[in-house]
């Protein structure tokens, strides 16, 4: 299988980006040499250097304390922290970072919460959020799981053309999936994912 390579970035890549791409391309020796060179030339600060060193050699983390979480990570730092076994929550980071939580290797609850954040601003389509809500049965109760159960109950009622069940799902307290700050029910959310009642 050919080594995975990074897309060529516009302009000149930074030393950390170059190291990351060399490693992903399978050239670990060149990545380690670039790290040493970047540190010697002062192009890589101490914190980033430690993070990259652990990324290139996981044995450095054996018995070592966790790295401090950066207050304002770049997308590359976020990915590196994940790679060294210290994934960072994105809930306190800018909205764009929530996209990374939609990947299949994130937990279901994490993906739902990221989907809700993104859907609230129109960054993802309503059908994607519906797909997250209906992926499987609720794992527990309370919070996000109440919203999952409520959306699934509404979907089942619509599929069965059960108007009484639809009315219950759309009436308080059935509208547990609707947060006060949202405009609910959303016509686009309903029309895009659910069948029309006969």
DSSP per-residue codes, 53-117: HHHH-GGGGTTPPPPPPPSS--HHHHHHHHHTT-PPP-TTS-GGGGGGGGSTTS-HHHHHHHHHH
Same domain membership, residue 110 and residue 166: yes
Confidence (pLDDT) at 38 = 94
Question: In sequence order, what are the residues at sequence separation of 6 or more whose Cβ sits closer than 8 angstroms to the Cβ of residue 43?
Answer: 14, 15
Same domain membership, residue 99 and residue 64: no
Q: Does the residue 1 lie in any domain?
A: no
Burial degree of 46 (CB within 10 A; 0-12, 13-18, 19+): exposed
Q: Does the residue 119 lie in any domain?
A: yes
- Using 50, 70 and 90 to split pLDDT, how confident is the model at 197? very low
Same domain membership, residue 115 and residue 75: no
Q: Does the residue 9 lie in any domain?
A: no
Same domain membership, residue 113 and residue 60: no
Cis preceding linkage at 185, omega within 30: yes
Q: Does the residue 90 lie in any domain?
A: no
Confidence (pLDDT) at 65 = 87
Q: How many domains does the chain have?
A: 2
Q: Does the residue 88 lie in any domain?
A: no
Q: Which domain holds residue 155?
A: 95-193
Q: Cα separations (Å) of 105 from 70, 79, 110, 126, 169? A: 22, 13, 10, 21, 31
> CA–CA separation, 31 vs 51, rounded Å?
13
User: Of the candidates 50, 83, 116, which is a domain's last residue?
Assistant: 83
Confidence (pLDDT) at 115 = 93
Task: For 98-156, write each residue's pLDDT tens digit.
Answer: 998 898 888 899 999 999 999 999 999 989 999 999 998 888 888 889 889 888 988 88
């Amino acid at each position: 299988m050919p080594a995975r390579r990074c897309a060529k970035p516009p302009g000149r890549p930074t030393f950390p980006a170059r190291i990351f791409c060399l490693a992903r391309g399978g050239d670990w020796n060149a990545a380690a040499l670039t790290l040493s060179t970047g540190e010697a030339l002062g192009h890589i600060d101490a914190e980033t250097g430690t993070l990259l060193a652990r990324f290139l050699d996981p044995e450095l983390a054996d018995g070592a304390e966790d790295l401090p979480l950066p207050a304002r990570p770049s997308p590359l730092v976020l990915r590196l922290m994940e790679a060294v076994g210290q994934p960072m929550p994105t809930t306190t980071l800018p909205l764009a970072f929530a996209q990374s939580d939609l990947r299949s290797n994130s937990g279901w609850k994490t993906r739902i919460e990221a989907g809700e954040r993104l859907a609230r601003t129109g960054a993802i389509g309503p059908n994607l959020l519906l797909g997250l809500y209906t992926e499987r049965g609720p794992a527990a109760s309370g919070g996000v799981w109440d919203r999952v159960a409520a959306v699934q109950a509404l979907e089942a009622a619509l599929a069965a053309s059960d108007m009484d069940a639809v009315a219950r799902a759309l009436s308080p307290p059935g509208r547990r999936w609707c947060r006060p700050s949202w405009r609910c029910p959303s016509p686009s959310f309903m029309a895009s994912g659910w069948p029309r009642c006969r």
